[in-house]
Amino acid sequence: MTSSLGNDDINRLVEGMWRLDALQKQKNRDLYLSIVRKELGIPLPVRRDERDFVDLWCLVEGCLEHSGALHAFLQVIERFHGGSSTFANIRRVASALLPEPLLESGERRALHELVKVLQNGDPDALREEVVRELFWTVAEPADLTIDTGDIWPVLDGLEDFNVDEDGVPPLLNFVEELAVRTGGPLRMRLLRWSERAAARLGVAHVVHARRERAALLGERPRRYLVIAFRPDGASPDRYLVSAWLQSDDGHGIMLRCEDDDPMPVTGLPALIVELLTEEPQVVNRPPMAELTLEFVLPLNLLGRTPLDQFRITVDGLERRLGIEHPVVVRSLDRMQKQNYHPAWRRKWSWLRDNPHGAEVCWVTQPGEYRGESLYNMLLADPSSVCLALAFPPRADGGGAPDELRIALQAGAPIIAWCRNGRSPRKFTEEFRELVSHGALALPDSVLALRREAVLTSDREPDADHLGLELTLLFDDADRFPEHHGLLKAPA
């Protein structure tokens, strides 16, 4: 990767090295460079020059382009000249200018060898879109000068990225993710490499805990196609549309950015088909990755738009969107109002830690509770994370706060309602059965319900099935589709 040292610092380092007589001779520089290449296990391209001082400068610049290469070069010099005062001065200058590399040279060489084996055995395993997806799964968006679809600069560049909130370097997270997607003996070799590096860096307990959580959940990796509708001020019935592909940890890639061409809601089915069938990031997601569709909507669309019943046509086959993938809605208004976030994050954190302890607040008819009373009921009980309405919220989103808007303010991450109204007793029985599988599993449980509803309607056209009428708001407070937050488009 590109060195962060300026010309003055490089000059200071090169001048210190030039004082060592051995480095003034080309044959010695050639010998030391060949040893470094062998130990790193990479070609380490370096521009050379007939002028000795300039050649040394080029050698230093070439090493700075690869994480750990200059430190490896210094270690080789130390083997031959470690006892000299001149080398001691070189080491002091280098220590002042350069941080220690994340990996030791042997670790880096071993990782490169494993990646070469994977690349040679299965070229598709490290194709450009796969590497890019893995990179943005573990890395925070930043201005980059590397190709995030090329495995070698990615491995190099991740060494210099800041550790995550648990102290784990992104490179280790990358290797862990790569191992999960790799089969056979090579998977275990990648995992063992990660274990040894984590142990040396003091984060083995975190890595092991994450593996245990993943094994306990036993879930396939999940991706989220997030589509946001923002009102266009000039045209009330048209919306500016953005789309992202996200992973569970919140990292994502912007697929479509708001532009100056607002579209009506009726244009959404065609956009969805385009994203599902033509967008490379979606089409080429990992084969085992489940896909959830999330629609971020303003209040006036939340209550009235049956997105799960939208009909899409792919290659001549028409079907409901809600039987293809889990379909949920999210609140644009809550995302945009910072004062709503503390309660929302508290509720979501509680739900994440207690998925089978979630309590449902049942409301059977509009106005059953005064606004303040309902707000207090939801806010005061940490376990009250879900509001279930046997009736649809107000369609226009205007007027005094209704049950939906009260629940959004109180931080409820899950809100469900029957779009056409339903017998309170019947609705309670049906929705309680869904929640019994776990509140965090509701998107998948509702998907199964919608599929069951289609089968039932085929046999009994007049059947009144909740799967055809249920809207699920499922609002993950850990994942924000923000233009200026985690999800800004990669450089």
Contact present, 249 and 173 (Cβ < 8 Å)? no
Spell out the residues 6+ positions from residue 222 whose beta carbon is closer than 8 angstroms to its own.
Answer: 247, 248, 289, 290, 291, 292
Residue type, 317: L
Mean pLDDT: which of 93-107, 137-151, 246-260, 333-347 is highest?
333-347
Contact present, 268 and 321 (Cβ < 8 Å)? no
Q: Please choose, from the candidates 376, 238, 362, 252, the residue with its C-alpha nearest in 3D space to the C-alpha of residue 300.
A: 238
**Dist. CA 393–CA 402, nearest whole Å:** 7
Q: Indicate the range of 24-33, 299-308, 314-323 predicted with least confidence.
A: 299-308
**Dist. CA 473–CA 442, nearest whole Å:** 10
The partner residues of 242 in beta bridges, in order of sequence, read 228
Q: What is the pLDDT of residue 398?
A: 63
Cα dist from 67 to 23, 71, 100, 304, whole Å: 22, 9, 10, 54
Contact present, 60 and 44 (Cβ < 8 Å)? no
Tens of pLDDT along 42-91?
A: 788 899 999 999 999 999 988 888 777 888 898 899 999 988 999 999 98
Residue 489: pLDDT band (50, 70, 90) is very low
Residue 488: pLDDT band (50, 70, 90) is very low
> Rounded mean pLDDT of 185-205?
91
Tens of pLDDT along 321-340?
A: 999 999 999 999 999 999 99
Contact present, 386 and 439 (Cβ < 8 Å)? yes
**Dist. CA 214–CA 203, nearest whole Å:** 17
Is the pLDDT reported for residue 482 higher than 80? no
Expressed in angstroms, the distance from the first to the final Cα of the chain is 15
Is the pLDDT reported for residue 233 higher than 90? no
Is the pLDDT reported for residue 486 higher than 50? no
**Dist. CA 472–CA 463, nearest whole Å:** 21
Is the pLDDT reported for residue 214 higher than 70? no
Predicted TM-score (pTM) of the model is 0.57
Is the pLDDT reported for residue 193 higher than 90? yes
The more confidently predicted of residues 250 and 425 is 425
**Dist. CA 254–CA 244, nearest whole Å:** 4
Q: Which helix (H) or strand (E) is 252 found in, with range?
A: strand 252-256
> Rounded mean pLDDT of 17-38?
92
CA 322 to mean position of chain CA atoms: 24
Is the pLDDT reported for residue 99 higher than 90? no
Spell out the residues 6+ positions from residue 311 whose beta carbon is closer than 8 angstroms to its own.
Answer: 269, 318, 319, 320, 321
> Rounded mean pLDDT of 236-253?
83
**Dist. CA 386–CA 444, nearest whole Å:** 16
Is the pLDDT reported for residue 127 higher than 70? yes
Residue 150 phi/psi, 5-degree rounding, is -105, 120
> Rounded mean pLDDT of 185-212?
88
CA angle 323, 436, 353 (to 5 degrees): 100
Residue 491: pLDDT band (50, 70, 90) is very low
Q: What is the pLDDT of residue 288?
A: 67
> Rounded mean pLDDT of 461-476?
90
Residue 41: pLDDT band (50, 70, 90) is confident
Q: What is the pLDDT of residue 405?
A: 94
Spell out the residues 6+ positions from residue 260 whose beta carbon is closer than 8 angstroms to its own.
Answer: none
The more confidently predicted of residues 137 and 340 is 340
Is the pLDDT reported for residue 3 higher than 60? no
User: What is the DSSP code (8-state) at residue 313?
Assistant: E
Spell out the residues 6+ positions from residue 298 whose beta carbon is closer than 8 angstroms to its own.
Answer: 229, 230, 231, 332, 333, 397
Tens of pLDDT along 445-468?
A: 999 999 999 998 888 887 789 999
Cα dist from 66 to 92, 128, 322, 413, 486, whole Å: 21, 20, 48, 45, 27
